[in-house]
Amino acid sequence: MNLYILFGQTATGKTASALTLAGSQKGEIVNFDSRHIYKQMSLVTGKDIPPSNTIPHWHYDLVDPNQPFSSAEYCAVTLPLLKRILARGKTPILVGGTGYYLRHLLFGVPKVGVKEDWELRKKLEGASVADLQLRLKKDNGSFLDSMNESDRNNPRRLIRRIEIATHGGTLPIPISPHEILSEQLGIKIIYQPFFHTTQEAAREKIAQRVEARFKQGALDEVKTLLAAGYVKTDPGLNAIGYKQLIGYLEKELTLSEAKKQWTTAEVQYAKRQKTYFKKYFPQPTHDSVSTIR
């Protein structure tokens, strides 16, 4: 049996393609986007699930916005799910853009030994890349030296290394490029990468989606979450889009500035996605169809 993986950058049509593929392959869709696991967070994150669709969708709306959800937790709930889908004679179709969720599911979760320190993360939230680099250099210079250029400019990765250094941990044990999951399930994995053709194309498409989400009620979604008692430092509301719209609601940004910053953050995220996926996952071959947007 086959397992399809549709991976790549945001705003490339992965979800629509997954729905088409599921219809032809008796498939069930399994999300691996870390922003889509949160309940009540649909418009800003762009879940894009047709309300009348009858194809089973899994791992959407798993946890509340104030709950962290690690890749280890994702793997723990996904492997049994994939087994159940296959036992029903259906085809699992993984779709998403969170590379480390997928990488750890396929190859195993690296051993670190330091859990998430959310208090520290909240203190570091909003710090500039330069300040985070200085902090990491002070805490453990070797941790900074071993990072590639992309990771050095990724606040989330810098904060994670600061977290590990603060608690006296060691860096993750490298994951072997060997598909453990395919052996566990006895299946063939078919990769379908989705990338924008150019950076300019990515910006144009993302800008259109940001505007569309705003018109669909993204700002009202943020207001509803805040009214329910969630705060901007919660893991879910730390996502792109929510931070910018909360900045507008707190009168730190104009609406135009919020939209522009949201778009820019999504474009930067798409660039990091492309770097990560090209580094760790197979690119088009006779067994993996590449869909470029």
Q: Which two tokens stand for residue 256?
A: 């135009």
pLDDT tens profile 216-228:
999 999 999 999 9
**In terms of residue numbers, what domain contains 123?**
118-166
Assigned domain for 171 exists: no
- DSSP characters over 78-118: HHHHHHHHHHTT-EEEEEES-HHHHHHHHH-PPP------H
Domain shared by 39 and 88, yes or no: yes
- Asked if residue 290 has pLDDT above 70, the reply is no
Give, to the nearest 10 degrees, the angle between helix 199-216 and helix 218-227: 60
Q: What is the pLDDT of residue 34?
A: 95
Give the domain CATH number at 183.
3.40.50.300
pLDDT tens profile 110-145:
776 788 888 899 889 889 989 999 999 999 998 888
Domain count, the chain: 3
Domain shared by 76 and 190, yes or no: yes
Tell me the whole-structure pTM to 2 decimals.
0.81
Domain shared by 127 and 239, yes or no: no
Assigned domain for 235 exists: yes
Domain shared by 63 and 186, yes or no: yes
Domain shared by 98 and 128, yes or no: no
Over range 161-188, report the average pLDDT: 82
Query: At 174, is the pLDDT very low, low, confident or very high (cuts 50, 70, 90)?
Result: low
Average pLDDT of the chain to the nearest whole number: 89
Domain shared by 194 and 236, yes or no: no
- Asked if residue 51 has pLDDT above 80, the reply is no
* Radius of gyration of the chain measured on its C-alpha atoms: 19
